[in-house]
Amino acid sequence: MTEYDVIVIGAGAAGLMCAAQAGQRGRRVLVVDHAKKPGRKILISGGGRCNFTNYDVTANNFLCENPHFVKSALAQYTQWDFIGLVTTHGVAYHERDHGQLFCDDSAKDIVNLLLAECDQATISQRYRCEVHDIEREETGFRLKLNGELVRCQSLVVATGGLSMPKLGATPFGYQLAEQFGLKVLPTRAALVPYTLHQEDKTRFADISGVSVPCSITTESGVCFTENLLFTHRGLSGPAVLQTSSFWQPGEAVTIDLLPSESLKEVLVAMRDKHPNQTLKTSLSRLFPKRLVEVLIARDSLPDKPLKQLDDKQLDQLHHYFHQWSIAPNGTEGYRTAEVTLGGVDTHAISSKTLEARDIPGLYFIGEVLDVTGWLGGYNFQWAWSSGWVAGQHV
Ligand code: FDA
């Protein structure tokens, strides 16, 4: 029976980082994945350019039932450490809004970086490999890989969340946690577009591709100011994806379609200057014309010359555009979600080592844990930080 010091299940962001670190410490490491190649999510991330971290990372950028949990790993391996690694490997990158860092060329650069780090040690990798029959032994674990029995002292679960099953996502890590008596918190798709009720879906499908800056607030009071994108299925864009992690089914969201100006003040000024200008023409100076047409038709807005609109009507229009309320009928689910909320309960995991407190040698890292980052490179930073930390302890 082949024996390893460490077996890492999952050759994604967290698993490869962990394997490279453990290997560089001289551990005999095997990484296994049922997919045919490593890092498939990395390759498609950030529109193919991988938003690999963010200049500004704090625990506040993560959702977790145990809010202090992420602090230790994020402090042990920071965004600056990963940026240093990126620089050492000569990967060119640039900053976009909100401190987000992307590769200049391709997300492949990040996968190649991780594989090059693995190559600095002797790390075995097996793809198209099914993992079965994991059992705990006195000094480690025994498992079957494509039917072959192997042993390891430390077992690292880096199988990610449920989003994008087409790319190989499975509930394997949750099932394994439950097998060892660990609690798994309910999971839900996050960083995901909203779908709309049929009538709105049809109306807004006509303006699919239109994007507007806005602020979206959930019923729990969480607010993000970013772009909103109308799609043929519903609502997307960064503002929507961000709030989807905080939205609960059945709730409405409130959208300020003009977050940096007062609509009433703008309309009053227009009314003074151009009294015969219609509401539609006036609004089309502020918003995309096709959106204005859909909203006028949908909510019977008074499309008259501005001089015919009294202050009360302007107040109503002001309220409408600054507090446009819409109730999604759901989300697009795991099919298009970037991440999964919930997962292995972190209360049973050491925040300093990522080892299960009551099961020596068993580690959980990355998205399989109940740790979900905001949009903006935070999920990869969690994968790097948690993978690096476990890599020092396995
Ligand atoms: P990850 O999912 O990367 O890896 C898990 C691995 O486990 C996979 O290789 C899988 O095949 C394997 N596996 C699963 N079940 C198995 C089983 N039963 N047996 C063997 N192997 C198994 N984040 C970010 O910070 N910036 C970004 O730009 C993006 N962009 C983005 C775009 C899209 C479309 C998606 C879907 C996601 C993102 N993300 C992101 C999120 C980011 O990709 C995600 O949080 C990390 O990849 C999580 O890393 P993990 O290593 O935990 O899981």
pLDDT tens by residue, 109-147: 999 999 999 999 989 999 999 999 999 999 999 999 999
Distances (CA, A) of 372 to 189, 240, 252, 379, 384: 10, 16, 22, 7, 14
Residue 130, both tokens: 């099914």
Q: What is d(CA 223, CA 259) in angstroms, rounded to the nearest whole number?
A: 11
The residue contributing the CA closest to ligand 1 atom 18 is 172
**Nearest-CA residue for atom 53 of ligand 1:** 160
Give the pLDDT confidence score for residue 122 in this predicted structure.
84
Cα(330) to centroid(ligand 1), Å: 23
Q: Name the residue of 79, 363, 379, 381 to mutate for ligand 1: max ligand atoms within 8 A of Cβ.
A: 379
* Residue owning the nearest CA to atom 37 of ligand 1: 338
DSSP string, 101-139: EEESS-THHHHHHHHHHHHTS-EEEE-S--EEEEEEETT
Average pLDDT score over residue span 285-307: 96
Task: Give the residue whose CA is nearest to atom 29 of ligand 1.
Answer: 45
Q: Is 383 helix (H, G, I), strand (E, B) or coil?
A: helix
d(CA 387, CA 129): 21
pTM confidence score: 0.97
Residues having CB within 6 Å of any atom of ligand 1: 9-15, 33-35, 40-41, 44-46, 50-51, 131, 158-160, 163-164, 168, 170, 172, 338-339, 366-368, 377-380, 383
Ligand 1 centre to CA of 134 (Å) is 22
Q: Which atom of ligand 1 is nearest to the CA of 51?
A: 28
Residue of minimum CA distance from atom 14 in ligand 1:
159
Q: Considering the chain, what percentage of its residues have pLDDT values greater than 90?
A: 98
Query: Residue 48: pLDDT above 90?
Result: yes
**Choice from 159, 166, 340, 385 to test ligand 1 binding pocket (greatest atom count within 8 A of CB):** 159
In which band, very low, low, confident or very high, does the pLDDT at 100 lie, cut at 50, 70 and 90? very high
Given a cut of 90, is residue 10 above it in pLDDT? Answer: yes
**Which segments of the chain belong to CATH 2.40.30.10?**
194-331
Query: Which residue from 16, 34, 41 has its CB within 8 A of the most atoms of ligand 1, so it is best to mutate?
Result: 41
Tell me, in angstroms, the distance from the centre of ligand 1 to residue 251's CA. Answer: 28
How far does residue 41's CA lie from ligand 1's centre (Å)? 5
Complete DSSP assignment for 272-295: HH-TT-BHHHHHHTTS-HHHHHHH
> What is the CB neighbour count within 10 angstroms for residue 350?
16
For residue 202, the CA-to-ligand 1 centroid distance in Å is 33
Assess whether pLDDT exceeds 90 at residue 85.
yes
Beta bridge partners of residue 194, listed in sequence order: 235, 331
Number of the ligand 1 atom closest to the C-alpha atom of 39: 9
Nearest ligand 1 atom, CA 12: 4
Q: In what order do the strands lie in the sheet with 93-96?
A: 51-54, 100-103, 93-96
Residue 66 near residue 43, CB atoms below 8 Å: no
Mean pLDDT across the chain: 97
Q: Whose CA is nearest to atom 24 of ligand 1?
A: 377
Q: How far does residue 12's CA lie from ligand 1's centre (Å)?
A: 6
Instruction: Determine the CATH number of domain 2-188+339-393.
Output: 3.50.50.60
ipTM field: 0.99
Atom of ligand 1 nearest to the CA of 16: 51
257-287, pLDDT tens digit by residue? 999 999 999 999 999 999 999 999 999 999 9
Domain with CATH 3.50.50.60 in the chain: 2-188+339-393
**pLDDT at residue 26, as a whole number:** 97
Q: Whose CA is nearest to atom 21 of ligand 1?
A: 33
**Do 61 and 381 form a contact (C-beta atoms < 8 A)?**
no
Decide: residue 276, CB within 10 A, 0-12 exposed, 13-18 middle, 19+ buried.
Answer: exposed
Comparing 56-60, 107-111, 198-202, the range with the smallest average pLDDT is 198-202
Give the CATH class of 194-331: mainly beta
- Output the CA angle 34-86-29, nearest 5 degrees: 40
DSSP, residue by residue, 56-81: ---GGGEE-SSTTHHHHHHHHS-HHH
* Alpha carbon nearest to ligand 1 atom 31, residue: 45
Orientation of helix 108-119 relative to helix 13-24, angle to 10°? 20
Task: Report helix, strand or coil for 388.
Answer: helix
pLDDT tens for residues 143-175? 999 999 999 999 999 999 999 999 999 999 999
Q: How confident is the model at residue 1 (pLDDT cuts 50, 70, 90)?
A: confident
End-to-end CA distance of the chain, in Å?
Answer: 21
Per the CB < 8 A criterion, the answer to whether 300 and 147 are in contact is no
